[in-house]
Structure 1
Amino acid sequence: MDIPWEDVRLFLAVAETGSLSQAARKLRIGQPTVSRRLAALEYTLGMALFRRSAEGATLTGAGERLLLPARRMAEWAGEVSRAAESSEGSPRGLVRVTAPPYVSVAFLVPFAAWLAGQHPGLRLEVLASTQYLDLHRGEADLALRTKEPEQEGLKVVKTFTLESVVFVSKRLAARLPRKPQLSELPWLTWAPPLESLFPHPQLEKLIPGFTPVFTSDSLLVLLEAAEAGLGALPLPRLHYPLARSTSLVPLPIELGPLMNRSYYLVCAKSALDIPRVRQVCELFASELERATRPPPRR
C-alpha cells in the first residue's frame, strides 16, 4: 500500500501537536481540511489512528506503530529536499532561521535588514521560538540553540558566548541604590509554562526566596514592562551597531558564571550543500561574532 508523503506529514502533525487545530496551524491549512484528509487516510488504512475528544487527539495502538516510521520518513523527506536544492546555481531564495526570542528581536531583525541591502536575492524567515524545531525534517534551515545538538547529521558551525546583563529603565535606575544587591531588585521573568527557561532558574539559584514582581509568556511584553520601569530584566548583551536603540540601561551588578551562556549555530550537514543556506550561515556567523565582540574603548 502506497501512502502519499503529504498524508504521512499530516498524520505526524496531528500526532505531535495532539490537536487537529494545532496541526492545521502548523501545516498552514484549514482545520476542516485536516479532519477530512485524516478521515480519508484512516479509511484507506482500514483503522483508526487517533481517539478524538474535547481535549484533543491521542494515538491509538495502530497510530503508535505508525509514528516511528513516519518520523523517519519525515527526516528522509528533508534529506531528499536538500539534495535537490544543492544543485541550485547562485545563492537566492528563502532561508528559515530559528532562534530564541530575544536574539531574534535584537539581532536577527537588523541582520535581515542588512542582508536585504547587501544580498537582495536572499530572504529570511525568522522563527522566534522557545522550542527546538527539527532541522532534519527541514522545519528550519539554521538554528541558534543554547544546547549542543546530540543528533547525528547535525553540525555546529560556530559557538558563541553571550554575557547576560541586568537591564532596567532609566527611571527605575534612578530610584535604586548605586550598587544594588540582587535581592533588592524587582525582577521580571517568564510566566508558566515557560518558567524553566533562562533566566528564571538561574535567578532562583542566586536569590533565596526568589519571587518576580511581574511575569509573562511573551518577550515583547517583558521588554515593554522593563521599558515602563516595572522591573529588571536579564538579557544577553549584544554590541550590534545595526540594532535599534533602546532606553534600557545596564546595571553595575555582578551576575556570576550562571549568566554567561553558550549559543550554538547549528544546521543539518546536508543543508550546507545548498548555496543560499551556506551563504546565510557564513554571514550569520560573521555578523553574530561581530555582535558579541565588545566595542573598542574610547
Structure 2
Amino acid sequence: MDISWDDARLFLAIAETGSFSGAARRLRIGQPTVSRRLAALEYAVGAALFRRGVEGAALTAAGERLVVPAKKMAEWAGELHRAAESTDSSPRGIVRVTGTPYFSFDFLAPFAAFVAQKHPGLRLEVQSQIQYLDLVRGESDLALRGRPPTSPDLQCVDTLDVPNAVFVSKALKARLPKKVTPQDLPWVAWSPPFEAVPPNPQLETMIPGFTPSFTADNYLVLVAAAEAGLGALVMARMSHRFTRATQLVPLEVELGPFSRSQTHLVCAKSALDIPRVRRVSELLVEEFQRIRAHR
C-alpha cells in the first residue's frame, strides 16, 4: 500500500503533539478532519495507530513502527520542497522565521516591516516558539536560537553575542536600595510547562530556594507584570535600530556567568539555495553586524 505525504504528516503531527487537537493546530485544520483522515489511514494500514484516552493519543505498537520512517519522509519532503523552490530566481514570497518570544516581539516583528519596505515582494511570517521547530522538515525557513545546531543537516549562518540585564519598573527601582543582589529581588518568571526556559534555571542556580513573585506562560504577560512593578525580569540588553520604547529600566545586578548569551542564526543547509530565504538571511546578518558595530 502507498502512504501519502499528507497522511504521514498527519500521523506525525498526532504522534508528536500527543493529541488530535494539537495536530489540528499544527496542521491548521479542524479536529474532525484529523479524526476522519486518521480513521481512513488506520483502515488502509489495517491496524490502530493510536490509543485514544482522556490524556490524549498514545502510539500503539503498530504506530511506533511507523514513527522513524515517517520522520525520514518528513525530512525528504522538506528537502524536496527546498529543491523545487531553489529554481525561483527572484527573492519573493513568504519566509518563515522562528525565534524566542523575546526576539520575536523585540526584533523580528519590526524587522519584518523593514524587509517589507526594502523588498515589497517579500513577507515574513514570524513563528514565536519556546520549542525548536524542525528546520530540516521545513517547519520554518530560518531560526534564531540560543543553542548552536548539532545536526549535520543544519548550518549556523551567524552568531550574535548578547548581553543580558535585569529590568524593573521605575516604581520598583525607586523602592529598592542602591545596591541589590539577585536574592533581594522579587522575580517575574516562566510558569509550567516552561519552567526550564531561561532565565528560570539560571535564577535557580543563583538563588537558593528560588520562588518567583509572579509567573506566566506568555512573554507579553511577563513584560506587563514587570512594567506593573510585580518583579524583575531578565532580558537581553541589546540596542538595535528597531528598539522600542519601554517602561522598564535596567538595574545594576551581577548575573555572573549568565550576564551574556548567544543567538544563532540557523537554517537547513539547502535553505540558502532559495533566493527569498537567502536574501532574508543576508539582511539578518547585516543587522547583526550593525548591532556589533554600535556597541
TM-score normalised by the chain length of structure 2: 0.97
Counterpart in the other structure of 1:45: 45
Per-residue deviation at 1:103?
Answer: 0.8
Which residue number in structure 1 is paired with residue 112 of structure 2? 112
Matched, 1:142 2:142: yes
What do the CA deviations read for 1:75-134 (whole angstroms, capped 9, x no partner)?
000000000000002100000001111011111111111111111111001111110000
Unaligned runs of 5+ in 1: none
1:68 Cα shift? Answer: 0.3
Deviates more, 1:178-187 or 1:14-23: 178-187
Residue identity in the other structure for 1:118: K
Q: CA RMSD in A?
A: 1.2
Structure 2: distance between partners of 1:69 and 1:40: 19
Q: Determine what percentage of the aligned residue pairs are the same residue.
A: 62
**2:11 corresponding residue in structure 1:** 11
Residue of structure 1 equivalent to 2:290? 290
- The count of aligned residue pairs is 295
SS in 2 for 1:283: helix
Runs (4+) of structure 1 moved beyond 3 Å? Answer: 291-295
Q: Residues of 1 paired with 2:208 and 2:16: CA distance?
A: 38
CA contact (8 A) 2:15 2:59 kept: yes
Q: Which residue of 2 aligns with 1:253?
A: 253
Aligned residue for 2:115, secondary structure, equals helix
Aligned to 1:209: 209
Distance 1:52 1:253 in 2: 50
Q: Distance in 2 between matches of 1:70 and 1:292?
A: 42
- How far off its partner does 1:69 sit? 0.3
1:208 Cα deviation (Å)?
Answer: 2.2
SS of the aligned residue for 1:11 comes to: helix
Does structure 2 retain, via aligned residues, the 8 Å contact 1:237–1:292? no
Aligned CA distance change for structure 1 residues 262 and 276 (closer, same or farther; 3 Å): same
Contact 1:156 1:265 in 2 (8 A): yes
Q: Which residue of structure 2 aligns with residue 28 of structure 1? A: 28
Q: TM-score, normalised by structure 1?
A: 0.96
> CA offsets, 1:152-197, max 9 Å, x none?
2100001111111000111111111122222111111111121111
2:12 maps to amino acid: L
SS of alignment partner, residue 270 of structure 2: helix
Contact kept in structure 1, 2:164 and 2:258, CA below 8 Å: no
2-side partners of 1:165 and 1:19: how far apart?
38
For residues 292 and 106 of structure 1, what CA distance do their matches in structure 2 show? Answer: 17
| Kept in 2: contact 1:187–1:233 (CA 8 A) | yes
What SS class does the counterpart of residue 244 from structure 2 fall into? coil
Q: Which amino acid aligns with 1:271?
A: A
Q: Is the 8 Å Cα contact of residues 20 and 34 (structure 2) preserved in structure 1?
A: yes
Aligned to 2:67: 67
* Contact persistence 1:239–1:290 (CA under 8 A): no
Report the Cα distance in structure 2 between the residues aligned to 1:129 and 1:290, rounded to whole angstroms.
25
- The Cα offsets for residues 239-266 of structure 1, whole Å up to 9 and x where unpaired, read as 0122221111101222112231122110
Partner of 1:226: 226
Q: 2-side partners of 1:188 and 1:51: how far apart?
A: 39
- Contact preservation (8 Å) 2:157, 2:267: yes
Could you tell me how far 1:292 is from its partner in structure 2? 5.2
Q: Spell out, residue by residue over 1:246-293, the C-alpha distance to the aligned partner (whole angstroms, 9 max, x if none).
A: 111101222112231122110001000000000001101221342355
What secondary structure sits across from 1:106 in the alignment? helix
How far apart, in 1, do the equivalents of 2:290 and 2:204 lie?
Answer: 32
- The letter of the residue matching 1:25 is R
Higher mean displacement: 247-256 or 30-39: 247-256
Q: Could you tell which deviates more after superposition, 81-90 or 254-263?
A: 254-263
* 1:50-74, Cα deviation, whole Å (9 max, x unpaired): 1111221111111111110000000
Query: Matches of 1:211 and 1:258 in 2, distance apart?
Result: 18
Task: Provide the C-alpha distance between the structure 1 equivalents of 2:288 and 2:231, rounded to a whole number of angstroms.
Answer: 28
